[in-house]
Structure 1
Amino acid sequence: MINEAQSKSTLARLNYENVKEGQIHNIWKNCGTNLYAITSASLKAKLATGTIYLQYHRAKFSNGHVSPICQLCTEGNEDILHFIVKCSTLQHIRSNFLHLTSEVLIENLRDQNIIQELMTSDEHLCQLVIDCSKYRFLNENAQERIKTLSRGLCHRLFQQRAILIEQ
């Protein structure tokens, strides 16, 4: 199973190293039975597995009839990295998450260089949102808090995207 997962580019941000058959993946572990948390975890799982349908994917399968450019900000191709980290139209939603995540990292990590790298690198931020368990230096408390925050972020980003595209 792990060898097959390693060959899939869409699973690059998913931590599958500690997954055993029959076990619940980290994305689902702390969401409980709350409908909002389950919906949020579902969106996050789609991001983690590359099964979310963003503008980039529409363009890829449209034979050139659809543009991959983000419909919200028109500043780049709307892929997962753009949607989670770069879209300027969604920055107001993202900023609170970044602040709270930074606080969690400061409380749990002593190395300011690691904190700085995680908070300023688009790739690292995207990884924190999708599956922070890939960062083994994060303790369980930090991972649980970041997972909860990032579930809410994914849900709010998708909500806002849907609202803005409808208009």
Structure 2
Amino acid sequence: MSVPKPTCLINAYMPTNAAQSLDEYKECLDIIFNIKSKYDQSHNIILCGDLNGTLISTRNNKHDISLKQFTSDNGLKPTRDIQSKPTYFHTDGKATSQQSAINGHWTNKLRLECEEKSTLQNLTISNLTIGVTHPVWATVSSSVSDIRKAITKSRMLTGTYLLQAHRHRFNQAEVDPICPNCRTENEDLCHVLTTCPLYVNTRIALYTPIKNFIVSIISASTWATHFSNREAICTLIVDCQSFANLNIIPNNPEILGKIENMSRIYCYEIHKKRLSAEI
């Protein structure tokens, strides 16, 4: 009487498809190979989990190629017709990995909740993605001074940088929304970053390089068409990604990173000037 082989279930959670992930991915495949080699003769081997790669023939990123080669070399075959019955789906309807499917779900939820927050009007919500660091932090160094600048920029970006216009909403009877430094209009973020005469010298020194850099890329006429009002300038300084999404600025990480670095300094220097005026 023959005794059926027990099952060896190898449940793997593989590295994501990041820039430097292939070596780590292959190391994990080596570990799986060692486990399989040890139990291959005595057990039925089942490989499962989130492999962050696919055997579907229509996709061939670096993980997919390694996974297909590994399964072919080791005689591992899918238990179902993966071409017609993929397991996980992204919100766009395409087959994907388990982790990508989960991240896609929470990304959609995050964006929907952000769209309901009026304080996030300066944030490019459509670019928010679970697992992807926002440029305000992705481009910052580890120095204390840079971290301070990024914190200030993040507060402006998320609507938590309190100004007179914000305080007025919470206490309309006692708080005047007018800018205490120039008394010309309400002190909101657009006023502080683009209009208040108290910061004119700071703006001349730091805004001009931002403008010149962008004009050198998109031309003066394109600049005049899209950046002729202060609301557009404010959006550019706080989160330039929205203009990249509209193809006004090239969606190039190096270009966007340079704009982010310059605008982070711009926001922080105006913040310091504002603090000194309050003392």
The amino acid of 2:120's aligned partner reads: L
How many angstroms does 1:118 deviate by?
Answer: 4.3
Check if 1:109 corresponds to 2:222. no
Structure with more relative contact order (C-alpha pairs < 8 Å, separation 6 or more): 1
Aligned mates of 1:49, 1:81 — CA distance in 2: 14
TM-score after normalising by structure 2:
0.56
Structure with higher Rg: it is 2
Helix, strand or coil: the match of 1:135? helix
Structure with a larger share of its residues in strand: 2
Superposition pairs for residues 5-154 of structure 1, below 5 Å? 5-110=114-219, 112-136=220-244, 137=247, 138-139=249-250, 140=252, 141-154=254-267
1:97–1:153 Cα contact (<8 Å) kept: yes
1:118–1:125 Cα contact (<8 Å) kept: no
The amino acid of 2:183's aligned partner reads: T
Check if 1:4 corresponds to 2:117. no
1:104–1:145 Cα contact (<8 Å) kept: no
Runs of 4+ in 1 over 3 A off after TM superposition: none
Provide the residue aligned with 2:107 in structure 1: none
CA, structure 1 residues 18+119, in 2 after alignment: closer, same or farther (shift >3 Å)? closer
Check if 1:158 corresponds to 2:266. no
How many angstroms does 1:3 deviate by?
Answer: 1.2
Structure with a larger share of its residues in helix: 1
* Fraction of identical pairs, as percent: 25
Helix, strand or coil: the match of 1:56? helix
Aligned mates of 1:58, 1:77 — CA distance in 2: 11
How many angstroms does 1:24 deviate by?
Answer: 0.9
TM-score after normalising by structure 1:
0.91
1:26-75, CA deviations, whole angstroms, 9 ceiling, x for partnerless residues? 21111121211111111111111111111111222124111111111111
The alignment yields a C-alpha RMSD, in angstroms, of: 1.5
2:149–2:268 Cα contact (<8 Å) kept: yes
**Number of equivalenced pairs:** 165
The amino acid of 1:114's aligned partner reads: T
Aligned mates of 2:161, 2:178 — CA distance in 1: 16
- Residue segments in structure 1 that go unaligned for 5+ positions in a row: none
Provide the residue aligned with 2:13 in structure 1: none
1:87-133, CA deviations, whole angstroms, 9 ceiling, x for partnerless residues? 111111111222101211122114x3321134431011101110001
Aligned mates of 2:256, 2:221 — CA distance in 1: 19
Aligned mates of 2:113, 2:195 — CA distance in 1: 30
The amino acid of 2:119's aligned partner reads: T
Helix, strand or coil: the match of 1:120? coil
2:207–2:266 Cα contact (<8 Å) kept: no
Aligned mates of 1:151, 1:57 — CA distance in 2: 22
Aligned mates of 1:69, 1:16 — CA distance in 2: 29
